[in-house]
Amino acid sequence: MKLSDLAQEISCRIESGSPELEITSAAGLDIAGPGDISFLANPKYTPQIKSTRAAAVILNDGVVGVERNDLAVLRAKDAYVAYTLALRLFFPERGIVPGIHQSAIIDESAQVDGNVEIHANVVIGRNCIIETGVRIFSNVTIYDGVNIGRDTILHSGVSVRENSEIGKRCVIQNNSTIGSHGFGYARTEDKKWLKIPQVGRVVIEDDVEIGANTSIDCSSVGESRIKRGTKIDNLVQIGHSCTVGEDALICAQTGLAGSSVIGDRVILAGQVGIAGHLRVGDDAVLTAKSATSHDVEPGKTISGVPAFDNREWLRSTAAFRRLGEMAKKLRELHERITKLEQR
What is the average per-residue pLDDT within 255-281? 97
Q: Is the pLDDT of residue 292 over 70?
A: yes
Q: What's the CA gap between 330 and 35, in Å, rounded?
A: 63
Q: Are residues 259 and 206 in the same domain?
A: yes
Q: Are residues 68 and 156 in the same domain?
A: no
106 belongs to a structural domain: yes
Q: Are residues 130 and 253 in the same domain?
A: yes
Q: Are residues 167 and 274 in the same domain?
A: yes
How far apart, in Å, are the Cα atoms of 279 and each of 200, 231, 244, 293?
21, 19, 10, 10
Is position 277 annotated as part of the catalytic site? no
Q: Are residues 260 and 229 in the same domain?
A: yes
DSSP H or E segment with residue 224 = strand 223-226
What is the average per-residue pLDDT within 12-30? 95
332 belongs to a structural domain: no
Q: What's the CA gap between 225 and 239, in Å, rounded?
A: 11
206 belongs to a structural domain: yes
Q: Are residues 118 and 65 in the same domain?
A: no
What is the average per-residue pLDDT within 314-327? 82
Tell which wins on pLDDT, 68 or 205. 205
The confidence score (pLDDT) of residue 318 equals 82
Q: Is the pLDDT of residue 178 over 90?
A: yes
Q: How many domains does the chain have?
A: 2
Q: What's the CA gap between 333 and 330, in Å, rounded?
A: 5
> Catalytic pick from 155, 181, 240, 277?
240
C-alpha dihedral sign at 272, 215, 146, 92: positive
Q: Is the pLDDT of residue 66 over 90?
A: no
Q: Are residues 47 and 124 in the same domain?
A: no
Q: Are residues 230 and 266 in the same domain?
A: yes
Diameter of the chain measured on Cα atoms: 98
**CB contact at 8 A, 176 and 158:** yes
211 belongs to a structural domain: yes
Which amino acid, residue 40? L
pLDDT band at 325 (very low <50, low <70, confident <90, very high): confident
Write out the residue range of the structural domain in which residue 9 sits.
3-90
How far apart, in Å, are the Cα atoms of 169 and each of 69, 100, 153?
43, 20, 7
The confidence score (pLDDT) of residue 328 equals 87
114 belongs to a structural domain: yes
Q: What's the CA gap between 170 and 111, in Å, rounded?
A: 19
Tell me the CATH number at 36: 3.40.1390.10
Report the share of the chain in percent with pLDDT over 90: 83
The chain-wide mean pLDDT, for the chain, equals 94
DSSP one-letter string for 96-153:
P--EE-TT-EE-TT-EE-SS-EE-TT-EE-TT-EE-TT-EE-TT-EE-TT-EE-TT-E
Which amino acid, residue 193? W
Whether pTM exceeds 0.85? yes
Q: Are residues 150 and 26 in the same domain?
A: no
pLDDT band at 34 (very low <50, low <70, confident <90, very high): very high
